[in-house]
Chains A and B, each alone.
Chain A
């Protein structure tokens, strides 16, 4: 938890002065009974009304000063805790941005979202509580113990025994509840995941009429959540009564031993009353602590969940890499004996892949489902690191590039057509922030998206909803293609990205890519022979290995796997005719 304290760094003044003003206010408050004692002892005894009014004025003045201090303290606490939340959120967001695909697969994006949102909110609330109230309590406990010491050294022993006993009880209860609150949070995560899944899969859920079962599953989860919350609550509910009992045991002790001391004449009756008052003050302070403990334990649980994310470091880092000069004679992309295996999977997804692609070449990658086509593609922008062998771009191992340089060379169209909330223009500027409208229109034209964007209201200013929900699948796909083309990448990767396009659009797209992107190296991953048959080079993958490499006609004659794929899509006549 204390590791997160670094996010208060920029709010040092607020986090120090906030509690400080709180302490000053507490001092004012502690002075009030003394002044009242003056009124009683001096004012009433002498029947001096002007003295009484004067003292009363002092009380009001103290009240105003206290209010001012307190407001300042609250403002500082709000400022510091919100600032803490803001910086923590921002740092976590930046940290998540450094993670590679492997870590995102492992953590799961849903978990990341909850940690970014509700966990940080809880932590922020916790910090606010601590700044506002937590420091005040120890101060009052300490102050009371000191005051007790001035009255009777012997009786202070009671204070000295009781304080650690209380601390122990609070510690015990906290350490029993923290793991339980952590479990509560992870169950809440599950509810979150299921909600989100039901939103994205609502069509499937309804098509199979499984709403009732989903509801049941959700209810099972919330029931589990309820039971865990009640168990955790049962333990933390002990806090209040336990402290109350301990303090009153001490009061009984003060009465007994105090009585003895008065009997021997070492202290007075009034001093016993004072001791009791201090003990009560400690009780009040501790009650505030107990109230806070639930929040603090939760904050602790959240903090460790947040730290868990901070502890995951990217396995694919570009740290220390500096810009790489381009080797003009080297192939654009080269794989040398590359093998690759996903974390947690026993088998290699790619086995000993070797090929080279020259500048300006178009490469088709074809193969069965699960043959490893996407895995090959994912290694080029270094989304994952090859398990063995090396991947080279422009003659340099991709591991030596800074990400911005490597990925700046590449325009990628992922399988899943993901767009973001914002205007078309904003979505098109993902690769190149400064792209002009002309460049964007150009890319849209190549991607066969110009026509439908022209028809949209506002054209480039047309607002796309989250996940591109106000566009059809084919429209989304064409926009993701255009997005990759903006800023003229040296390498264009189409990862099965024409699957939602009709044949005519697909053909027109390939034609315009071939015509208008001179010098661009293009990778086309596809299931369709028609999409890749005219490629300069076709790589046939079968179960993670290269089954054949060459042009359409060469492969058709020599590669059995390729021939089978061809004949599953076209008649023999068609294969030969359009070769």
Chain B
């Protein structure tokens, strides 16, 4: 019964081990030399004491030292040592290579998984936790593997080697050693099972702390703006304490292995002493043999110590690996396999009978109908939270609809590859996102092979050329999302330049110009207008200057379209839109 309780955890670590083995498989060619070098170095290590013993044997008493026999023994010792050292070094190189290759593959796969996870996962999971799995946990796997590989194997070889040497001396005493030693394995197993659980808990607590640090340190500016430092520190201290409480237990428990197995080894040593002594009474063993037996008994149990240490380390690595694989086995976006590649867009976009919600309990969009012809400019307006941004998530297929269908050029977007569908759209979002890299790379993000002239032309079209020129390194200035010298508006202009360069068939602008001053905005709008001539566009905006010119205005409220028409007709109708429009002048 107790075993049943353990089994899910055990299975978890077994599963992780199996998957890790899969990652090591491509490097199995390296296992052969690793094993070879390990075997040679272990054999040589075990042989060295024999040579030394023989050397000691020729140093007997005063005037009775056989220097002629001593010299070759010393020479033999030195060459054995040289071989051992060389093989040890080569073996470490091999294990390093395996470990770092596996870790690289693991990270690459985890990252590739990241690109395939549905947005619903990314939107609803703390980024700090995902990052900690990819960076810290993979690091733990690498540490665990590195220690494990090298020691587990040499340890096993040493055990077998010593066992053979012992058997050649006395079978009965060897049996005593063999029977008692597994006790230490039993103890080690008990410890490591508990350690795994505690390490897992520690991982969780660490993930929570990382999330908090991501939030508070990542948004340090907001924290200091509100003088919230004290509270932030308090929250942090709490999480910090929770982590250290579980850490003390995890670390203590994991370090139990060594002393307890060493204690068992002490018992083995003592037992050999007693049994050996009584055997010596009956003349079954000489004193010299007993003393070398004791040396070997020590050598036999030492690797058990190491192995149990390694097992603990591996437990930690496996707990981390488990978290990494958990991320990797997360459900990913429905595959594009078999989907059609759409190359020609005729500008039609239709949504019929669309239902959608982020959580089943709270229906958001119900029975949504939208039919857009080629070249139409559609503005979507409505109070905040009415589902405008959700429209983008659905049009771009960041989320799939629950019911109904959305089609582009008459093709259901579910039947198209995401890449080809998205290549038809250009998107500028309200929340600007820039990659760490040069301005040039950022503008050419949608078209990495763009020429310099194209980049500059796009920058000019989006009115960023002027301020880019004034930056210390011009187009080669390295910027990032938190680059302070660029204002929010300038960042937005860069995002617009990014879209200008890729010349999409359809355009989605979600508050794309909200941070840009209106004088520049008008110029950008004109550029957009030129760009969008004959192309379909969706515009979400609050500014009337942006909305007024649209061919069709969709007024949304609570996930439904409540009004539809052009500016003039909607104003005449005197409904919700007219109310919205007039409200902008209703200032005290």
Contacts and interface: CB of A to CB of B under 8 A. Distances in A.
Nearest to A58: B270
B584 A206 contact: no
Contacts of A53: 274
B485 A345 contact: yes
Interface stretch (B102-110, B170-178, B367-375, B451-459): B102-110
Nearest to A224: B104
Nearest to A566: B518
Interface stretch (B17-25, B89-97, B566-574): B89-97
A319 to B, nearest CB: 14
Interface string A94-129: 101111110011001110111011100100100010
B430 to A, nearest CB: 6
Contact of B131 (A81, A195, A211, A262): A195
Contacts of A93: 213, 216-217, 232-233, 236, 240
Given A40-B290, A369-B493, A452 B241 contact: no
A71 B252 CA distance: 9
B530 to A, nearest CB: 18
Q: How big is the A interface, by class? A: 35 or more
Q: How big is the B interface, by class? A: 35 or more
A299 interface: no
A436 interface: no
Nearest to B220: A104
A428 B127 CA distance: 23
A527 B516 contact: yes
B96 A32 contact: no
Interface in B145-168: none
A495 to B, nearest CB: 9
Interface of B is mostly: helix
B445 interface: yes
A75 B67 contact: no
A244 interface: yes
Nearest to A70: B259
Given A49-B278, A222-B104, A496-B488, A565 B583 contact: no
Contacts of A415: 488, 515
A188 interface: yes
Contact of B108 (A60, A83, A89, A215): A215
Interface string B523-547: 0000000000000000000111100
A90 interface: yes
B489 interface: yes
B93 A44 contact: no
A208 B472 contact: no
A272 interface: yes
Interface in B261-314: 262-263, 266-267, 269-270, 273-274, 277-278, 280-281, 287, 290-291, 294
Interface stretch (B6-14, B71-79, B349-357, B403-411): B71-79
Nearest to B523: A568
Interface in B392-424: 396, 398, 418-419, 422-423
A569 B422 contact: no
B581 A503 contact: yes
Interface stretch (A327-335, A385-393, A468-476): A468-476
Contacts of A226: 100-101, 103-104
A200 B423 CA distance: 20
B213 A113 contact: yes
Contact of A255 (B70, B126, B256, B258): B70
B545 A503 contact: no
Given A66-B262, A222-B104, A259 B382 contact: no
A194 B436 CA distance: 8
Contact of A530 (B139, B211, B396, B587): B587
Nearest to A245: B85
Contacts of B482: 105, 108-109
A81 B243 CA distance: 13
Contacts of B429: 203-204
B588 A534 contact: yes
A499 B510 CA distance: 12
Contacts of B291: 40
Contact of B244 (A85, A207, A249, A418): A85
Interface in A275-321: 276
Contacts of A210: 445-446, 448
Interface in A241-269: 241-242, 244-245, 248-249, 251-252, 255-256, 258-260, 262-265, 268-269
B53 to A, nearest CB: 9
Interface string A496-512: 10011111111110110
A215 B115 contact: yes
Interface string A119-161: 0010010001000100000000000000000000000000000
A205 interface: yes
Given A97-B224, A373-B487, 14 more contacts: A74-B255, A78-B255, A128-B255, A204-B445, A241-B84, A245-B82, A272-B56, A342-B485, A344-B485, A383-B225, A415-B515, A472-B389, A504-B580, A530-B584
20 contacts: A39-B277, A52-B274, A52-B277, A86-B240, A90-B233, A93-B232, A110-B218, A124-B247, A206-B115, A214-B111, A215-B115, A218-B107, A255-B74, A368-B517, A369-B515, A370-B487, A466-B127, A467-B215, A473-B511, A527-B517
